A = this chain, B = another copy of it.
Amino acid sequence: MTSTEGNETLGLGKNRIEALTDGIFATVMTILVLSLTIPVITQPSGSEPPAQQLIDELGQLSGLLPAVLTYIISFVILGVYWVGHHNLFHYVRRTDRILLWINIAFLISVGLLPFTTALLGRNLTDQAAVILYGGNLMLCSILLRTIWWYVTSGHRLVDRDLDQHIVSIAGRRIITGPIIFTAAIVLSFVSTWLSMVLYASAAVYFIIPSHLDVHFTRRNVRH
């Protein structure tokens, strides 16, 4: 902690910005669930056999599946951005006002996700909803990429000896997101289901370990 103490801009060091980011991510992930509307289940008349009644009731709830699916995809992608944000800030040594405001722009676009997720969950086959969702995810990726560009260009806010290899691998990894999301938006003109498959794939893709991890693991000291 002491090593970053002197880097704060008017008391707003890296730790503070990370704390606000963590708080917003935790709350955004939690209120995603508000996108699921709570149905009042119509109980079938008692004349049917119990097993049939249960199937009827579960049938009424199955309408929620698209919303649950988008909830899970959004939660996972938020997890990806959260991990990504920490990975980037791991290398940040100093902060300045511009970094602060790019970061707040990033948080504004992250904060919109519960809205676009709910919009998609309730209009899963609607192209406009699919495009807005993809656009929101793309905006998040682009702003995260901007943070990385800003702190690393000319080693502005990172260590002077930060390996250029890490800079370019991380940069390339973040930019994969927008490429997938662009493809999803284009495919929405063919079928919105293809777009959904791509959004889910993006979530899975980012969970799989990358070269960056391998690189880092070598430096990972065990106690």
Do A38 and B223 touch across chains, with their CB atoms under 8 A apart? no
- In the complex, whether A26 has a CB less than 8 A from a CB of chain B is yes
Docked pose: A89 CA to B57 CA in angstroms? 39
- In the complex, whether A187 has a CB less than 8 A from a CB of chain B is no
Mask, A106-149, CB within 8 Å of B = 1, is 01100110110011001101111101100000000000000000
Which B residues touch A165, using CB under 8 A?
Answer: none
Mask, A177-203, CB within 8 Å of B = 1, is 000000000000100000000000000
Do B10 and A20 touch across chains, with their CB atoms under 8 A apart? no
Docked pose: A89 CA to B11 CA in angstroms? 8
Do A20 and B22 touch across chains, with their CB atoms under 8 A apart? yes
Q: Which of A1-31 contact B (CB under 8 A)?
A: 1, 3-4, 6-12, 16, 19-20, 22-31
Docked pose: A31 CA to B33 CA in angstroms? 10
Name the distance in Å between A100's Cβ and chain B's nearest Cβ: 7
Besides the known contacts A11-B87, A38-B122, 9 further A-B residue pairs in the complex with CB atoms under 8 A apart: A7-B222, A16-B22, A26-B27, A30-B111, A31-B31, A32-B111, A57-B128, A68-B112, A79-B104
Docked pose: A217 CA to B34 CA in angstroms? 40
Selected A-B contacts with CB under 8 Å, 18 pairs = A6-B221, A7-B221, A9-B217, A10-B216, A20-B82, A22-B23, A27-B27, A29-B107, A29-B111, A31-B31, A31-B33, A40-B123, A41-B126, A54-B128, A57-B127, A57-B129, A75-B107, A101-B207
